[in-house]
A = this chain, B = another copy of it.
Amino acid sequence: MEERLKKLQKLNFDLQNKDFLLTWEKSRAEIEAVLNTAVILKEMHKQNIACRIFDSGLAISIFKDNSTRTRLSYASAANSLGLAVQDLDETKSQVAHGETVRETANMISFMADVIGIRDDIFIGEGDKYQRQVAAAVDFGYQNGILDQRPAVINLQSDIDHPTQSLADLAKMCDKFGSIDNLKGKKVVMSWAYSPTYGKPLSVAQGTIGLLSRFGTQLVLAHPPGYDLLPEIIERASQQAQASGGSFQITNDMQAAFQDADIVCPKSWASFAVMQQRKTLLHNGDKAGLANLEQTCLQENAKYKDWECTSKLMKLTNKALYMHPLPADISGVNCEHGEVSKQVFEENLYDTYTQAGFKPFIIAAMIFLIKQNNPTSKLEELLNKKIQRLDTRRK
User: Do residues B68 and A88 form an inter-chain contact, with CB atoms below 8 A?
Assistant: yes
| Chain B residues positioned under 8 Å from A46 (CB to CB) | 147-148
Pick the residue among B52, B54, B77, B352 that contacts A106 (CB under 8 A): B352
User: Do residues B55 and A108 form an inter-chain contact, with CB atoms below 8 A?
Assistant: no
Query: Once bound together, how far apart are the Cα atoms of A197 and B370, in whole Å?
Result: 44
User: Do residues B144 and A56 form an inter-chain contact, with CB atoms below 8 A?
Assistant: no
A40 to chain B, nearest CB (A): 13
A79-B111, A107-B325, A326-B100 are contacts. A50–B45 as well, Cβ < 8 Å? no
Query: Once bound together, how far apart are the Cα atoms of A147 and B44, in whole Å?
Result: 10
Query: Once bound together, how far apart are the Cα atoms of A155 and B73, in whole Å?
Result: 24
Query: Once bound together, how far apart are the Cα atoms of A328 and B255, in whole Å?
Result: 59
User: Do residues B99 and A333 form an inter-chain contact, with CB atoms below 8 A?
Assistant: yes
A378 to chain B, nearest CB (A): 10
Interface centre among A96, A104, A106, A111, by most B CB within 10 Å? A111
How many chain A residues touch the partner (CB < 8 A)?
Answer: 84
Any B CB within 8 A of the CB of A97: yes
A-to-B contact residues, CB < 8 Å: 42, 45-46, 48, 50-58, 60, 66-69, 72-73, 75-77, 79-82, 84-86, 88, 92-94, 96-97, 99-100, 103-104, 106-108, 110-113, 140, 143-148, 325-326, 329, 332-333, 348-349, 352-353, 355-356, 358-359, 370-373, 376-377, 379-380, 386-394
- Selected A-B contacts with CB under 8 Å, 6 pairs: A45-B147, A55-B388, A56-B80, A57-B388, A84-B84, A143-B348
